Amino acid sequence: MEITKKNMNTMFWITVILFLILPIILEKFVPIHFYSSYWFLSFPSIFIVLFRFGPKLGITILGVSSLIHIIWEVCEFIRTGELISKEEFEMIIIVNLVKVSVTILTTVYLVKINQHRKELQILNEKLGKLAHMDHLTGLPNRLMLEDYINQVIKISEKYNERFSVMFLDLDRFKEINDTLGHATGDYLLIQVAERLQRSVRKNDVVFRLAGDEFVIVLKDITKEECRNVAERIINEMSDSFILEGMESGISPSIGISFYPENGRSYQEILKNADKAMYFAKLKGKNNFQFI
């Protein structure tokens, strides 16, 4: 039978109520003092509520349960015809006040721990992102590239698939960087990253390796599809870039390797793509070459 959200909520509240009334039921059948049974058995329901609905509702139910048990204890004295002494009444009040105080302090402590845990988690996520992302372009960096390719190798090996790695270097980038300055060079790299992401397929991933070097990983792809992506990149880069108010042209040289034909490890695949990129430069730049 499928457990619905409504059924789960019903089971939750049944558990809470059971723990709240269990001390009363237990005292009827077991020779245990009310204070000790109430103290230990009512705590589980309180903490269940604290973690399920937060401190406000948890403390509210705590107060209500304490009031119910105070009234019940007084009513028991009246029902049995016993006279409740001042000391006994004070003991009832003290037990409940101590329970409320301990639970409130525990709640505050748990809330602070949870808050610190969340802050630490957010900080770790930010540090992890900084470690794996290029701060300039926002693309994954070299560290992320190695992890990603190793994962793709495992998947491709398992399902007998092939994937491609494109190694891209920008022609004339050093000239622009030296002439117009590093700030302009950085702006150009940001624009290049945006154009590369527009050129690739939805599941392809663009990485910035270093400087003006980019790597693209294309999963489950044929040679013809890879050729089409490379041509789109070259066409996209053929449009002029506006730098310092002037039109500037830049072109890519692209080397392409395949798994498993051109290597079965991260180092081999990347090395062969890099080698193919140099072939593209030797052939006049602004083109792509397969290894």
- Residues identified as active-site: 212
Return the bridge partners of 66, or none.
none
Alpha helices per DSSP H over 54-85 = 55-79
For residue 248, the surrounding DSSP H or E stretch is: strand 246-248
- Strand 213-218 and strand 163-171: the pairing is antiparallel
Residue 144 to residue 166: CA distance in whole angstroms: 16
For 160-177, give the DSSP string.
Answer: T--EEEEEEEEETHHHHH
Residue 91 to residue 94: CA distance in whole angstroms: 5
Q: Burial code of 46-74, b = ≥16 C-beta within 10 A, e = fewer?
A: bbbbbeeeebeebbebbeebbeebeebbe
Q: How many CB atoms lie within 10 A of CB 264?
A: 12
Residue 185 to residue 250: CA distance in whole angstroms: 11
Tell me the CA end-to-end span of the chain in Å, nearest whole number. 58
Residue 144 to residue 150: CA distance in whole angstroms: 10
